[in-house]
Structure 1
């Protein structure tokens, strides 16, 4: 739907849903047009995208050194920053914790009133300050120097105190803020946040953090579900619709309908899966279907997945193959140990 069509819908309603909403909130504004608002939004995104490109181009060996320093930290990564840098610091802390790096955020103002005790020998401190002049960081710098804690400084001013006191000065480019007055932190915070993400992802690579490792850190929520092995959601035992090559098609149809999957796997004499029968196979042989056996009707070389595959990867395979069910195989074997249906993924909220 085009922008003008969407705008027309809002103009017709003239209201926003929800308590406390003024009924005239969506009336036309006299001093600015819809296209002006849309253009401004796009301009902000373009300004910040340009700032991120500048950051990418500016990365050098200091980034490598910072990554290696973080990877060699025996204690925790302590992140600190004031104001908007502090908000960014909290997000970087959360990202590092979620990707296998023990991290904690320390508010610099609280640090000077007792929270310096959260910083111990063996930690690495990451200081965030766009200007590099944040006075509240001085107590943290002095404490780190006193106990021999190494510092990674992140700032746009290489001659600032934060960068001068850093063991690894990690400069970010001086960028134009998206704010018309070039004051409100927008592009600079986007750059700082992206740098934190880059460090966290590089650390994952250095430490060899895998999907299995992430699953241990995300047992709940949608991420935990996505990283769940398909073996935890598959139907097993007598719930698997299986027949043999010489099974009469009358019995095959009974198996397909009674199990509720709409398919039947075909096993050979060694109990190996060699084929599958679907509704499509039934239709293709409708003329003499009941005179045949499973081997006459089945589709050879059915799509399967190993029991260790992640649920989200199994779902992707099913979507790509345009199938609604898939047999799950024992690792390294040709024997089915389960079956999953698209409805199972819906039930778990993964569709």
Structure 2
């Protein structure tokens, strides 16, 4: 099998049958077609499945070295895989001269791997000593276009965020667990007495730290020193890297909520310069990848239900701090599978493809 470059560089999608892959493949059909050959790759148990991409059917290949036959300079491989898979196979791709675009946490802290959100730091794609480009956690991706646009105007000095994370961030297992739990509590008065929901759900909490239906869980990720979670520390580290602010104070609390799709965040950003809320709204209205929906008097503000299935980050409730004329507070929502992963990986890959155009 040889990559067809007659109509553009080749693209491979590893993890094509997963939750993010199922979102990415339709995106490829909706955007400008810059690709020649597109290969779909997954684990051996998914090999042989037939999926649609660009209006045609494609058979899924097993993840082996043979799946990358013919790939070389100018070609791109997107990894939508767990970190251990990305860490093993991205170097296989780069030794062939192709570029690996990884959406896992495997390379996000590597100083030789740029961490990129195209609306904010597209320039970083060009310098990739290891031939790998990483995308951030879906929580970081949800807020960073808005925060980055404001930083460019006012110079960010301090950031505090709380995330309200959808179940689908844990993949299909997360979505299925929430659906199961909701079916157990639907039409009941559970949740009015201590322990009701836990008894109804039992031990079937899926990938979550406790029952999610009729509940919120102030936890996402793995335990780290000082009581922080791995996801909270990731948002802190990734924000610093993307904005090139290595000493930026960042406080994060990650909360899991009973929503299937769409992450939300409350953001309090303090800047070096004095902030005008009206001007901040103008900045956000013109920011790439951001849609402003901000008229509380008319009941207009973003929700995860609005963001689900869409490309941008939706921003609203923009207001100046009551206590600090250098601070701004707002609410942001974005589809965690689309904006937070699949679209970001696609945009990065298109930037790389454009280098050889």
More strand by share: 2
Is TM-score (shorter-chain normalized) higher than 0.5?
Answer: no
TM-score (norm 1): 0.28
More helix by share: 1
Structure with more relative contact order (C-alpha pairs < 8 Å, separation 6 or more):
2
